[in-house]
Amino acid sequence: MTPVELSRTVLRAVRRAVDEGELSVPVPARALVTPPGPGGCGDYATNIALQLARPAGQPPLRVAEILRQHLAGTAGVADVTVTEPGFLNISLSDAAPAAVALARQILDEGMEYGHGDALAARIVELRIPYDVRAEVVADALTRLVAAQGGRAEVDHREPVNLRPVPAPEDPAPLGPDAARWALLYPAAHDRPRITADHLVQRESNPLFRVRYAHARTRALGRNAASLGFAAEPGDPALGDRALGTRPHPATEPGDRALGTHPHPAAAHLSPLLTALADHPRVLARAAADRAPDRLARHLVTVADALLPFLPAVLPLGEEKPSAAHRARLALAEAAGTVLAGGLSLLGIDAPDHL
């Protein structure tokens, strides 16, 4: 993980803390990461907690501890230590074993990856008004609650406890999928936009990016099959050679371990792993907080991390399929599975062809 990638990882931790209500601060535009100073440890340190302490109205050490909890489970981060007066000291890990384990877990669990028991044996009462957006949100929450082991009961009794801001007009002309996305993507307190923007096949449309990223992973699987290879997470002993590196041009094929340099895929590996690893937490919070918009936004994050990674999946030119290609295909297919599973929980189709 480069300092730039680590800076983005720190900012994502801040954003998660803000989303979960642990910090009430604007998310900074950048987080400074440097080698640790005297008394520090690890590979890098950041003063982001000191920067946020005053606007958060909390002591720097408390802010650092909140962020430490969000950073500790991040792909590529081995350990996070807090030192006075509020520095976060970060030790990095090799991302390849994490990629192998995560891809294998997602492919094994399929579209149920991220489902858990956070609401086991709980009955969640959803009392909603007679309104199309409320009905759609309640329907998505019913799936999310079930995915966490609970059961949602929806009715229209007073007092209402789920009242998202109604749509300004009938979303039905958008079609079932775009209409649901238009109603679910904004937070409950935001007024949804019912416009044709949700139908355009362009990068500016978040729903298109999510469905396009999913369809690309399925197309890569078909193309790989025609080239005679399939997804394989691989053995962790393969290390960086399996995910993210290629032999140095000066080395012979048998000397791969003696000289490697980063493959372009490596630059996009950490954000993708972090987004995929965060999926179970997002599902649990979306269900507990009655906020399907969190899942919708998370799917956009996964898609945006996945799309730059995909060009490195298939062999180029005369290149032969290798363990690296099989491993990258496994990670791409795992990401596609997460996108399909998330869209399914929102009640939206994930087509294999787009």
Length of the chain: 354
Both tokens assigned to 7? 């800076």
**Which residues are paired to 83 by β-bridges?**
87
| pTM, 2 dp | 0.76
Cis peptide before 159 (omega within 30 of 0): yes
Per the CB < 8 A criterion, the answer to whether 344 and 111 are in contact is yes
What's the pLDDT at 3? 73
Domain-by-domain residue ranges, the chain? 3-93, 96-113+203-345, 123-196
Over the Cα atoms of the chain, what is R_g?
A: 22
Instruction: Choose among 290, 340, 311, 3: nearest CA to 140.
Output: 290
Q: Using CA atoms, how far apart are residues 208 and 192, in angstroms rounded to an integer?
A: 17
**C-beta separation of 46 from 59 below 8 A:** no
Cβ contacts of 307-311, under 8 Å, gap ≥ 24: 307/209, 307/212, 307/213, 307/216, 308/267, 308/268, 309/265, 309/268, 309/269, 309/272, 309/335, 310/213, 310/216, 310/217, 310/220, 311/264
Count of CB atoms situated within 10 Å of the CB of 43 = 18
The CATH class given to the 3-93 domain equals alpha beta
- With contact defined as beta carbons under 8 Å apart, do 98 and 334 qualify? no
Q: Which of 183, 175, 189, 193 has the alpha carbon at shortest distance from 136? A: 183
Residues 6+ apart with CB under 8 A from 11: 27, 28, 30, 31
Phi, psi of 260 (to 5 degrees): -130, 150
Cα 134 from Cα 183, distance rounded (Å): 9
**Could you read off the pLDDT tens digit of each residue along the chain, which spans 354 residues?**
667 778 888 999 999 899 888 999 999 988 888 888 888 888 889 999 999 999 999 999 999 999 999 998 777 788 899 999 999 999 887 666 777 888 999 999 999 999 999 999 899 999 999 999 999 999 999 999 999 999 999 999 999 999 999 999 999 999 999 999 999 999 999 999 999 999 999 999 999 999 999 999 999 999 999 999 999 985 322 333 344 444 333 323 333 332 334 455 555 677 888 889 889 989 999 999 999 999 999 999 999 999 999 998 998 888 888 888 899 999 999 999 999 999 999 999 999 998
Minimal CA–CA distance to 238: which of 97, 60, 121?
A: 97
DSSP type of residue 166: P
Please report the pLDDT score of residue 251 as a whole number. Answer: 28
Beta strand 44-46 with 260-262 is unpaired
Judge contact between 321 and 224, C-beta under 8 A.
yes
How far, in Å, CA of 222 to CA of 224, rounded?
Answer: 5
10 Å Cβ neighbour count for 131?
16
What are 85's two structure tokens? Answer: 């007066």
> Cα 30 to chain center, whole Å?
20
Return the closest-CA partner of residue 291 out of 111, 165, 138: 138
Q: How far is CA 89 from the centre of its chain?
A: 24
What CATH number belongs to 96-113+203-345?
Answer: 1.10.730.10
Residues 6+ apart with CB under 8 A from 233: 99, 100, 101, 103, 104, 107, 327, 330, 331
Listed residue (224, 218, 178, 204) closest to 353, CA to CA: 218
Residue 243: what pLDDT? 44
Q: How far apart are CA 15 and CA 169, in angstroms?
A: 32
